């Protein structure tokens, strides 16, 4: 299943590192300042992934974590320090000026695992940052789908309310016609007019909901509400489940493996374990080699040169207890990360379980809503025909009209609830996210 273009680019950068992404000129795909019009669900997701501030925050955290790996690797390289000094004594009888320069090259030969532990910790933190960025992208994907479908639902329900108002107007016209010929009553006309006014109020209320939903989608896209283009019509997604009920256990296992939050918690635990190893190694000796060269000159005297080569052995003693405290702190952090991993895994499985049952419920609700809306519309048409023919009363007509309007609203909501449940199901699994959330659904 194809992924959104920007999500595919970002995930490739997560796999190969930020430097590879920088070489590929990552900001280039984000040059479009406005989303396309009309706005499809797939285009909305693609645009939001590029312009969301959370995406930029994740990218900055990722670059910081990679810099941490470079810093840890620096311990394996030699260090060079240069220094220079100049001194001119003041006062009567002071000696001449003094100049000096020195250079020192040092390298740690052996530290009994300290550098290796810090490097492993930095690499695990980089893995955690990559997983966190992937999780953020998935969250942004789902939030954009939710916002888009919320607006589509409000617009669809307003269209349904407009049809309901037209039906109420037809009922009012029928009541007026019967009153004119003497087969109706003023009460029938007043009840029909009240029902029509209620239908108009429903439209006004839905206009307010549309404005709120437009603001939510604009935030998801990173634009102003006034810049939001009209939405493109959404296809009718087939009411089919992607997996059999017997495969739910496999679904939970997949969520525990594939979710970015789980991978990030696993990497954080590895970093904490490396931190324990680094804390243990901090109390071990360190052996280093160094070479130095010095040059000094006093005014009126020849220059003095000196060179040296030596070994140094550093054996720490934990007299103040700081090393032991660091070890205890590192062990506690490791235990905390282990508990966090268990919590995140349980949360991922819970999300998958709820997403699956939400999908089943949304499927059943959509099917029932279709039947209810078709039946209610047929009942209204029948009641309107009978009333016009003088065979029915206005209360039966208005009840049928109200039931048809309510059923149509429910059908619209159920349709978009089904699309949202499909998107939430794809997100809960933690695998590849579809480029078009309204397209074919795969486990």
- 118-171, pLDDT tens digit by residue? 899 899 989 988 988 888 889 999 999 999 999 999 999 999 999 989 988 988
Q: What is the structure's pLDDT at 376?
A: 94
Q: With bands split at pLDDT 50, 70 and 90, how would you rate the model's confidence at 92?
A: low
State yes or no: pLDDT of 248 exceeds 80: yes
- Average pLDDT score over residue span 315-338: 91
- Average pLDDT score over residue span 54-66: 83
Residue by residue, DSSP assigns 137-192 as HHHHHHHHHHHHHHHHHHHHHHHHHHHHHHHHHHHHHHHHHHHHHTSS-HHHHHHH
- Average pLDDT score over residue span 10-34: 50
Alpha-carbon radius of gyration of the chain: 35
State yes or no: pLDDT of 435 exceeds 60: yes
Q: With bands split at pLDDT 50, 70 and 90, how would you rate the model's confidence at 415?
A: very high
Task: Write phi, then psi, for 283 (nearest 5 degrees).
Answer: -90, 5
Distance CA 219, CA 207 (A): 19
Residues with Cβ within 8 Å of 424's Cβ and at least 6 positions away in sequence, in order, are 142, 355, 358, 359
Q: Give me 247's structure tokens.
A: 């495969």
Distance CA 112, CA 114 (A): 6
- For the chain, give the percent of residues with pLDDT over 90: 40
Q: What is the structure's pLDDT at 25?
A: 36
Question: Of how many residues is the chain composed?
Answer: 443
How big is the CA angle at 69 (ends 63 and 70), to the nearest 5 degrees? 90
Q: Look at 233 and 92; give whichever has higher pLDDT.
A: 233
Task: Write phi, then psi, for 221 (nearest 5 degrees).
Answer: -85, -15
Q: What is the structure's pLDDT at 8?
A: 55
Q: Give me 368's structure tokens.
A: 């029932």
- Burial class of residue 2 (count of CB atoms within 10 Å of its CB; 0-12, 13-18, 19+): exposed
- Residue 98, classed as helix, strand or coil, is strand
If you average pLDDT over every residue of the chain, what do you get? 86
Answer for the pair 199, 405: CB distance below 8 angstroms, yes or no.
yes
**Closest to 76 measured CA to CA, from 129, 117, 104:** 117
- 97-116, pLDDT tens digit by residue? 788 889 989 898 888 888 89
Residue 43: CA atoms inside 13 Å, Cβ hemisphere, count?
Answer: 15
Residues with Cβ within 8 Å of 303's Cβ and at least 6 positions away in sequence, in order, are 295, 296, 297
Note if the pTM is more than 0.85: no
Answer for the pair 125, 72: CB distance below 8 angstroms, yes or no.
no
Q: What is the structure's pLDDT at 99?
A: 84
- Average pLDDT score over residue span 43-47: 90
Note if the bond before 38 is cis, omega within 30 degrees: yes
State yes or no: pLDDT of 12 exceeds 60: no
| CA atoms 10, 11, 12, 16: torsion sign | positive
- Average pLDDT score over residue span 270-285: 89
């Amino acid at each position: 299943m194809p992924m959104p273009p920007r999500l595919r680019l970002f995930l490739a950068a997560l796999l190969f590192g930020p430097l590879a992404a920088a070489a590929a000129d990552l900001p280039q795909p984000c040059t479009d300042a406005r989303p396309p019009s009309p706005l499809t669900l797939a285009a909305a997701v693609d645009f939001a992934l590029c312009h969301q501030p959370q995406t930029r925050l994740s990218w900055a955290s990722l670059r910081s974590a990679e810099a941490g790996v470079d810093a840890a690797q620096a311990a394996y390289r030699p260090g060079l320090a240069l220094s220079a000094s100049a001194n001119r004594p003041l006062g009567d009888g002071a000696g001449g000026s003094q100049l000096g320069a020195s250079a020192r090259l040092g390298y740690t030969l052996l530290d009994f695992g300290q550098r290796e532990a810090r490097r492993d910790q930095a690499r695990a933190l980089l893995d955690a940052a990559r997983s966190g960025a992937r999780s953020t992208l998935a969250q942004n994907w789902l939030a954009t789908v939710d916002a888009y479908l919320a607006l589509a639902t409000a617009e669809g329900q307003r269209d349904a309310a407009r049809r309901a108002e037209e039906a109420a107007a037809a009922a009012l016209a029928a009541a007026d016609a019967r009153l004119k010929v003497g087969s109706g009553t003023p009460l029938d006309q007043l009840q029909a007019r009240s029902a029509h006014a209620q239908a108009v109020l429903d439209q006004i209320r839905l206009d307010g909901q549309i404005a709120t939903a437009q603001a939510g989608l604009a935030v998801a896209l990173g634009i102003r509400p006034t810049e939001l283009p009209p939405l493109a019509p959404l296809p009718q997604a087939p009411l089919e489940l992607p997996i059999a009920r017997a495969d739910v256990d496999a679904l939970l296992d997949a969520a525990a493996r594939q979710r970015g939050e789980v991978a990030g918690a696993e990497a954080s635990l590895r970093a904490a374990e490396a931190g324990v190893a680094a804390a243990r190694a901090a109390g071990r000796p360190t052996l280093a080699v160094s070479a130095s060269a010095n040059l000094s000159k006093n005014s009126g005297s020849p220059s003095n040169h000196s060179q040296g080569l030596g070994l140094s052995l550093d054996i720490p003693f934990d007299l103040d207890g700081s090393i032991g405290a660091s070890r205890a702190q590192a062990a506690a952090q490791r235990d905390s990360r282990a508990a966090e991993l268990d919590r995140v895994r349980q949360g991922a499985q819970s999300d998958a379980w709820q997403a699956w049952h939400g999908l089943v419920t949304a499927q059943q609700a959509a099917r029932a809503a279709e039947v209810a809306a078709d039946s209610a519309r047929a009942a209204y048409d029948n009641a309107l025909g009978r009333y016009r023919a003088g065979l029915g009363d206005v209360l039966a007509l208005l009840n049928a009209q109200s039931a048809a309007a309510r059923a149509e609203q429910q059908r619209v909501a159920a349709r978009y609830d089904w699309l949202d449940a499909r998107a939430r199901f794809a997100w809960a699994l933690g695998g590849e996210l579809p480029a078009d959330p309204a397209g074919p659904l795969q486990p």
